[in-house]
Amino acid sequence: MTTTTAASLRLRPSLKVLGLAGWLLLCFAAAAFGGLFMPGAWYAQLQKPTWNPPNWIFGPVWTVLYTMMAVAAWLVWGRGGVAAQRGPLGWFLLQLLLNAAWSALFFGLHNPGLAFVEIVLLWSAILRTLIAFWKVQRVASLLLLPYLAWVSFAAVLNFTLWQLNR
């Protein structure tokens, strides 16, 4: 890469701050959409495994995960913007869309089976995003590992809830 090309990919500090704010806004907009579909009475009456986490833990965990996701996307975006990182950021946006859709399927439609199929797609998209981010910015990729781990756990829980409540 020539010096001129490398310099053109650097972003001004003010743009970097706005970029971080934008990625945070986007990730928490996905969270807000998911928040439209609260567990409620339907979820409360489901038979749950003994290892089901308490309800209070989900808010703090997801707050940390959405923040880490935003920072990861921002770090990749910082390597030349959307045009230069179209592939990795495209995967990120796909997994974010799937993330937001899960709550609507599980809590909104009360359909753990369909939500399980969707969470498998979400898990695959997160893994693909993680791999794409690794090629651009390794710290960004590592920031997605806790998210992949949590969604792995959520997929097992989703499947278990589906099976217990058929």
Residue 16 or 25, more confident: 25
- With CA atoms as reference, report the closest residue to 27 among 64, 82, 76: 64
pLDDT in tens, 89-140: 999 999 999 999 999 999 999 999 999 999 999 999 999 999 999 999 999 9
Count of structural domains within the chain: 1
Residue type, 28: F
Average pLDDT, the chain: 93
Residue 53 lies in a domain: no
The pLDDT value given to residue 1:
45
The pLDDT value given to residue 3:
43
Whether pTM > 0.75 for this model: the answer is: yes
- With CA atoms as reference, report the closest residue to 63 among 18, 30, 94, 38: 30
Q: Is the per-residue pLDDT at 4 higher than 80?
A: no
- The boundaries of the domain holding residue 149 are 22-39+58-164
Residue 73 lies in a domain: yes
Residue 108 lies in a domain: yes
Q: CA–CA separation, 72 vs 47, rounded Å?
A: 36
CATH code: domain of residue 28: 1.20.1260.100
